Structure 1
């Protein structure tokens, strides 16, 4: 039989664990004034200021609209039906694996805005422990390696701060051929080629690199191209997304404003071309068109100019 003291202790331990888990789940932002009275927001606690520092815990945003493929499991006629759903305007290849054995149970390509039962379990009493993953795009797609425009039309040159195989964050298959272009906040971001908008995010304002909280907090636009590839334009300004899902865009059309949101050390655009390489999300190398119909593979330190046809 639990005493009043032991019950109170249990409640205290539960509360402490909850607060501890929240500390890891939330991002921390520090708000303070400098010696000139100017407000600053940072993900790192300042050590050089004598002014009071206010710590702000950021709760993860609640997303009600489904913005990625997902799995549901429902009982019907004595069976468990595992159904993959794709709410996007791009095909998605979905995989179902057994969590214990790691073996593949099934896979299927789910067309845009559709659902498909990918597995039926005969015994509905014991739900199988499964892992669901997906890769956007048709696995039979073949990139056409078309030349693309720089993702801006402002007259000023823009400097490449991180190119292909960049040591800071361009190491995985999905970012190996990404490029970061430093630019002032509010710079017009333009589509590099024509396509259809398949995803946008425009609900974050802050940036940082000291916490995993920021990894998926960049405002972005994704555009699907005719060859099955799609482009990601990341770290956009809050309120700066100028297109919506389903819009058809042309090369050179303004789609957003540059910013500094998500996992970022400063204002820049993260740009990458992606496709489904037989079940793996893969980035692809590309070249930007430059004045005089020159072609350039972007490297760190390069200055890019807008491509303005004669």
Structure 2
């Protein structure tokens, strides 16, 4: 059994957050990073992506279920969206008689593809005298994919204060989950974490946090070494 741990991942991009929806109207899930908004135009429909985060995102719009749909630019269409902004992704021309019943999927990724990370000295992310790394870069247990390749697992007792290893803007906070485990299929979308955007466009994701253990909110600026949460299992 692995001891309680804190996972710190240094990222340029993150897992896709997807919302499949009928449009119009548009709906979003609790953890969505973007909202698809469809506006009737002059014989077509304008598809906008609204950024729900206080930092940049990348979006991709495509059809679901193999449906054919004329669009300009063609689908899948991609766009970069600044913090809190909206961008016209494409113009849609549904088949005659199918207006208002387009089946679309919008994928959103926190961060910018134009990020250029600098060489920076990071602080330790835990308030403890003798930190121990249980799993490093490219770790065989759970760091062997692109998303987690540069993650570090620190061993820490539950309740250890978690500190910002580098200053930045809090992008996302999720600490409502109480279940835990190593089953990726079951728990991959039910993890407690804090995501922080740095001034060079890179990001850090702090995982394995305690339920209700966050001490920051999205949009908040944090300094390096500032307490942001509490470690969990």
Whether the TM-score (by the shorter chain) exceeds 0.5 is: yes
Q: Does 2:171 match 1:237? A: no
1:19-65 deviations in Å (ceiling 9; x for gaps): xxxxxxxxxxxxxxxxxxxxxxxxxxxxxxxxxxxxxxxxxxxx965
1:77 Cα deviation from its structure 2 partner? 3.9
Q: 1:252 corresponds to which residue?
A: 225
Q: CA deviation at 1:213?
A: 2.9
Corresponding position of 1:114: 85
Unaligned runs of 5+ in 1: 1-62, 261-310
Shift of 1:66: 5.5
Match in the other structure for 1:153: 127
Residues 136 and 152, structure 2, Cα contact 8 Å, conserved in 1: yes
TM-score normalised by the chain length of structure 2: 0.75
Richer in helix (by share)? 1
Task: Say whether residues 1:218 and 2:191 are aligned partners.
Answer: yes
Deviation of 1:153 after TM superposition, in Å, equals 2.6
Aligned-partner Cα distance in 2 for 1:71–1:98: 12
Q: How far apart in 1 are the matches of 2:136 and 2:106?
A: 32
Q: TM-score, normalised by structure 1?
A: 0.58
User: SS in structure 1 opposite 2:186?
Assistant: helix
Contact 1:67 1:199 in 2 (8 A): no
- Number of the residue aligned with 2:59: 94
- The superposition leaves residues 243-274 of structure 1 with CA deviations (integer Å, 9 ceiling, x where unpaired) of 111221111111111002xxxxxxxxxxxxxx
Contact 1:105 1:119 in 2 (8 A): no
Structure 1 contact 108–118 (Cα < 8 Å) conserved: yes
State how 1:187-226 maps to structure 2 within 5 Å.
Answer: 187-210=160-183, 212-226=185-199
Aligned positions of 1:1-310 closer than 5 A: 65=30, 67-98=32-63, 100=66, 104-123=75-94, 125-126=97-98, 127=101, 129-155=103-129, 157-210=130-183, 212-260=185-233
RMSD, aligned CA: 2.3
Secondary structure class of the residue paired with 2:213 = strand
- Contact 1:196–1:249 at 8 Å: present in 2 too? yes
| Secondary structure of the structure 2 residue equivalent to 1:179 | strand
Q: Is the 1:66–1:87 Cα contact (8 Å) retained in structure 2?
A: no
**Shift in Å at residue 237 of structure 1?**
0.6
Determine if contact 2:143/2:151 at 8 Å carries over to the other structure.
yes
* Residues matched between the structures, number: 196
